[in-house]
A and B are shown apart, each in its own frame.
Chain A
Amino acid sequence: MNRTLILGGSLSALMVIAALMSFVWTPFDHGAMNIPEKLQIPNGTHWFGTDHFGRDMFSMIMVGARTSIAVACVAVGIGIGLGVPLGLWAAARQGGWVDEVIMRGNDLIFAFPSLVIAILITAVFGAGAVNAIIAIGIFNIPVFARVTRGGALPLWAREFILAARVSGKGAARISVEHILPNIANLLIVQATIQFSLGILAEAALSYVGLGAQPPTPSWGRMLADAQTLVSIAPHMALMPGFAIILTVLGLNLLGDGLRDALDPRLRVSRV
């Protein structure tokens, strides 16, 4: 086990545990306002302090983890669900018109400034978690299609694929039974990276008011609330910020660690 993997795994696990635990227990009701106790700095009762309505920040961050993880999970799911089949298909028809169309379509989506399009989609179809998920998810499709195709192409030239073809299996069956298991490593690593990008994107969209809507707590909107109060209550900005940074850092380290652990040839980590 390498240290990157352990550190990244622990940080990621911490966030998942916080999110799951919030379903059964939080120190306070995350939505309960308590004006007399507003803007408290972190202390023994309110571990992360309270916001301008006297709500407990620790409880809000725990429940906010739920929103972040749910949005990122589904967005990555969209990317894998559509991107991987497209990538497999393109690789199976390498050089053909299907391959060409899929890859050019990919390039096109890649060329779009994702943030601008996400803002356009959420602005037009209404702000909210579902539209944010779709907006983020669309840009995961070409990422997974490209990784899948890139991983699958060299496999198609290998002997065991030839053996499968000789035994009469079709391209679709070979893709699922032989190609997919062999590129699962690549996909898992890419999924952790996209997951962390999804959490950052969700925070940015919520920050400008286009993500999850009140009363659903979200880290991005907590930061938006904190903006005007940052001079008198810096903890309101610090705590959700740390939550985002530690989660994203944890997922990135987890991705790096998994890549090293799953592929010993890449032991010398580069980017």
Chain B
Amino acid sequence: MLRYTLKRLLSLAISLAIASLLIFAVIEVAPGDPASFMLGINAQEDTLAALRAELGLDQPKWQRYLSWVGGMMQGDFGTSYQYRTEVTDMIADRLWVSLPLALYALTLSTLIAFPAGIFAASRRGKAGDVGVMGATQIGIAIPNFWFAMMLVLIFAINLRWFSAGGFAGWDKGFFAAMKSLTLPAIALALPQAAILARVMRSSLLDVLDEDFMRTARAKGLSRGAALRRHGLRNAMIPVLTILGLQFSFLLAGGIIIEQVFYLPGLGRLIFQSISARDLIVVESVTMLLVFAVILVNFLVDLAYAAVDPRLRART
């Protein structure tokens, strides 16, 4: 296990290094000089030079890359060109919206998908199975931002149960904040739940064919008891992998949903920074999201290997 962990850790480090290089390179070739963007077209050449020096834009590229990466390792994401505040603080504020939203959506997705997948598997080939599978086909085809607009139309505009957008803030109390995240979380969760339910079903069906399930039935367990005690536990491994992937998808996918609901999360921060050409913020937030996704994948791999020793030998 130690050997495997070290190997994965090395590939994690390489992935992060390449990812940071790529993101830095993309931002480097971006047209437009942040200094002239901040000062406007009438700026004097010496003012521009002074600002470039202040922002560190006059240093060679490799030096800027190293100081960017070095800073991030110490939790310092640089200073926003636009607001002159620490990017770390800006991100921290926004994370308190994006992270709870992703977790909320993940919880909802699991709560919908597990019963649906188990139900479909236990009714394999019958009307219930066909119904659930048909519903998941439609769920996968629905763009989440369109679904979000429909939720707003029904539950905010017509029924007036929720507000159409905005975030109440955690200082208004837990329930007020969670309420303003409810529609966005549902919009994010449903298409994901459709995928998860299909994985749950197929994984259960694979296990149901196994010899040990027949043994469990032969020793006198009912279908339901065999499913609960032996089937589910074995079917969970692929499901957990997908859950890990979904969390990172929900964190990244939230950036579109945040646009629909005007939520002050990481997504809105990215889009505002893009339009203000505040590239250091775009760069750092992208890197943070990529880091989160790569880290979650790494943890899932480790958890997977811890549960299933066969995997350690293979890699």
Binding site for B on A (CB under 8 A): 104, 107-108, 111-113, 115-117, 119-121, 123-125, 196, 200, 203-204, 207-208, 223, 226-227, 230-231, 234, 237, 240-241, 244-246, 248-249, 252-253, 270-271
The answer on a CB contact under 8 Å between A248 and B198 is no
B140 at the interface (CB under 8 A from A): yes
B112: shortest Cβ distance to chain A, in Å? 17
Q: Which A residues are CB-close (under 8 A) to B100?
A: none
B286 & A245 in contact (Cβ 8 Å cutoff)? no
Cβ B137 vs Cβ A244 within 8 A: no
Contact B143 A241 (CB under 8 A): yes
Other than A120-B26, A124-B30, give 9 A-B pairs with Cβ distance below 8 A: A112-B19, A204-B145, A208-B271, A223-B143, A230-B152, A231-B157, A245-B141, A252-B141, A271-B199
Contacts A111-B297, A115-B255, A248-B141 given; indicate if A230 touches B149 (C-beta within 8 A).
Answer: yes
B1-33 at interface with A (beta carbon < 8 Å): 11, 15, 18-19, 23, 26-27, 29-30
Which of chain A's residues have a CB closer than 8 A to the CB of B128?
none
Complex Cα gap A119–B142 (Å): 20
SS of A interface (majority): helix
Complex alpha-carbon distance, A231 and B160, angstroms: 12
Number of interface residues of B (CB under 8 A): 47
Other-chain residue from B15, B199, B202, B253 in contact with A111 (beta carbon distance below 8 A): B15
The distance in angstroms between the C-alpha atoms of A195 and B238, with both chains bound, is 25
With A124-B30, A200-B143 known as contacts, the answer to whether A113 contacts B249 (CB < 8 A) is: yes
CB distance from A10 to the nearest CB of B (A): 15
* In contact, A196 and B153 (Cβ under 8 angstroms): no
Complex formed: what's the CA distance from A246 to B23 in Å?
36
Q: Assuming A203-B143, A237-B146, is B252 touching A111 (CB within 8 A)?
A: no
Chain A residues, CB < 8 A from B198: 271
Contact A115 B30 (CB under 8 A): no
* A208→B275 CA distance, assembly (Å): 12
The 5 tightest CB contacts between A and B, nearest first, are A113-B252, A248-B141, A249-B141, A270-B202, A123-B274
B146→A244 contact, CB < 8 A? yes
Cβ of B138 within 8 Å of any chain A Cβ, yes or no, is yes
Contact of A120 among B18, B206, B249, B282 (CB under 8 A): B282
Chain A residues near B294 (CB-CB < 8 A): 111
